[in-house]
């Protein structure tokens, strides 16, 4: 941990608070028919960190993310952002869903989609559209604000969803298998975009993924979930520096070591 703190501290964003998960358990249903999905999870995400959460499908990754976001109440334990207990969605937390097709409103142009959460915050129209344009430019879509989501490719739609979280001023970005349904080339571009955003804004990012390569490539730490109910079976600190490259980083022997370690744990 010490090397991490040393690296992030100089440029830390003072607005970003840590995310702390203590003893989190989640069951669906009650009584004898209750299904326990998550068991006694402990987790801390420091400001500016990128964390990947991996695990076999059905391991409760999405359930965990929904608990972190406040969309779902944990059965036991707690989630805190700084000193605030998360019992409902928080203004600091931005969500990027796996289903980008469904999470963007098809009746709103890209810029309106990005600006919409600001309307809920009561930001005046001119200001929110200006902010939307700026955030769309941040994700590499300076000219697509007037387009409808269905006029954009999958990768572009997911960029719009990320811009929406940025415009909302999210300091903690929760991403649920965000690039799972995109082609490899687009996925690489978006992974690099995520890392560039962290570098510039010093926000915390939590990515749930089933792609082990992606988990290692993106993260400062990889949390490995396994079992029924799922618990954290390993936390892998990825010591590959903050500047990574799709080809160079992935050919470092250590990258392969992390990958095989996680793979064997998930299969184990």
Partner 1 sequence: MRMRTSGYAVADRVLALLAQLWLPVLLIGLWLFVSRDSTNFYFPPLHEILGVLWTDLAKGTLLSAIAVSIGNVAMGLAVAIVLGIASGLVIGQFEGLRRVASPTLNFLRAVPPASIVPIVIIALGVGAAPKVFVIALGSFWPILLNTIDGVRGTSAAVRDTVRAYRIPTPLGIWRVSLPAALPQIMAGIRVALAVALVLMVISEFFGADSGIGFYISDGANRFATRQTWAGTILVGTLGYVLSALFLVVERRLLGWYFQDTPRARHRIALRAAGREE
Binding residues (CB under 8 A) for partner 1: these are 69-71, 89, 91, 93-95, 97, 99, 101-103, 105-108, 116-117, 119-121, 147-148, 150-151, 164, 168
User: In the complex, what is the shortest distance from the CB of residue 165 to partner 1, in angstroms, rounded to a whole number?
Assistant: 9
Pick 46 or 112: Cβ nearer partner 1: 112
176: left (phi over 0), alpha (psi -120 to 50) or beta: beta
CB of 42 to partner 1, least distance (A): 24
Distance between CA atoms of residues 211 and 152, nearest Å: 25
Minimum CB distance to partner 1, residue 238 (Å) = 28
Q: Minimum Å distance from CB 100 to partner 1? A: 8
Nearest CB to partner 1, comparing residues 69 and 226:
69
The distance of closest approach from Cβ of residue 222 to partner 1 in the complex, given in angstroms and rounded to an integer, is: 24
Choice between 42 and 153, CB closer to partner 1: 153
Residue 60 or 94: the one with the smaller Cβ distance to partner 1 is: 94
- Shortest distance (Å) from residue 99 CB to partner 1: 4
Which of residues 102 and 142 has its CB atom nearest to partner 1 in the complex?
Answer: 102
Nearest CB to partner 1, comparing residues 47 and 70: 70
């Amino acid at each position: 941990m010490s090397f991490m703190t040393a690296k992030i501290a100089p440029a830390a964003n003072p607005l970003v608070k840590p995310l702390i998960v203590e003893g989190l358990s989640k069951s669906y249903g009650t009584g004898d028919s209750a299904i326990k999905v998550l068991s006694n999870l402990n987790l801390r995400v420091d400001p500016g960190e990128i964390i990947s959460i991996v695990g076999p499908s059905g391991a409760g990754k999405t359930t965990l993310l929904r608990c972190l976001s406040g969309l779902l109440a944990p059965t036991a334990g707690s989630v805190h952002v700084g000193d605030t207990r998360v019992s409902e969605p928080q203004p600091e937390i931005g969500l990027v869903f796996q289903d980008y097709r469904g999470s963007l409103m098809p009746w709103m142009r890209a810029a309106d989609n990005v600006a919409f959460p600001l309307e809920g915050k009561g930001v005046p129209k001119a200001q929110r559209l200006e902010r939307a344009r700026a955030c769309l430019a941040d994700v590499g879509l300076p000219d697509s604000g007037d387009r409808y989501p269905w006029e954009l490719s999958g990768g572009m739609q997911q960029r719009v969803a990320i811009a929406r979280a940025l415009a909302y001023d999210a300091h903690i970005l929760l991403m649920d298998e965000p690039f799972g349904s995109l082609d490899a080339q687009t996925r690489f571009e978006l992974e690099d975009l995520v890392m560039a955003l962290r570098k510039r804004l010093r926000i915390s990012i939590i990515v749930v993924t089933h792609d082990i390569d992606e988990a290692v490539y993106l993260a400062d730490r990889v949390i490995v979930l396994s079992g029924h109910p799922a618990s954290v079976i390993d936390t892998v600190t990825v010591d590959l520096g903050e500047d990574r490259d799709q080809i160079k980083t992935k050919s470092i022997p250590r990258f392969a070591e992390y990958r095989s370690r996680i793979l064997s744990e998930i299969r184990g």
